[in-house]
Amino acid sequence: MIEKTIYDFLKAENLSANPYMEVPKTQPKKFIVIEKTGSSRRNRLETSTIVVQSYADTLFGAAQLNEEVKQAMLDGLITEDSVTSVSLNGDYNYTDTTTKSYRYQAVFLVVHY
């Protein structure tokens, strides 16, 4: 399951915030949420669309955490045995205006076994 692979990878990267698979009930000042939003399969390879949301108590903090996540995902995830390709589809400010939670969202295409 690619979500678990990415979760374990980001956890081991010692980023400035911990990754989660969903928004935690008690939210730390900074955290990361990993979500798979789609996938396809061709020639025994899977391509998953992975969204990583970076939350922080300030917009600048969310932007900085987003940069950390992008660097880790693009430079390091490829070293995982089951991952053959990682590309950034886009990233942007994704602040939740109803809850006033500052967050950035980065969308990755991950090809994996």
Is the distance from CB of 27 to CB of 34 less than 8 angstroms? no
With a cut of 90, say whether residue 26 has pLDDT above it: yes
pLDDT at 100 over 90: no
Whether the predicted pLDDT of 99 surpasses 90: no
Quick one: which of 38, 49, 110, 46 has its CA closest to 79? 110
Structural domain span for residue 33: 2-112
| 43 vs 90: which has the higher pLDDT | 90
Number of independent structural domains in the chain: 1
**pLDDT, tens only, 32-85:** 999 999 999 999 899 999 999 999 999 999 999 999 999 999 999 999 999 999
**Average pLDDT, whole number, for the chain?**
96
Query: Tell me, what's the pLDDT at 41?
Result: 95
In this prediction, residue 109 carries a pLDDT of 98
- In the block, tokens 């899977």 appear at 46
Return the CATH number at 100: 3.30.2000.10
Give the pLDDT mean for 10-15.
Answer: 96
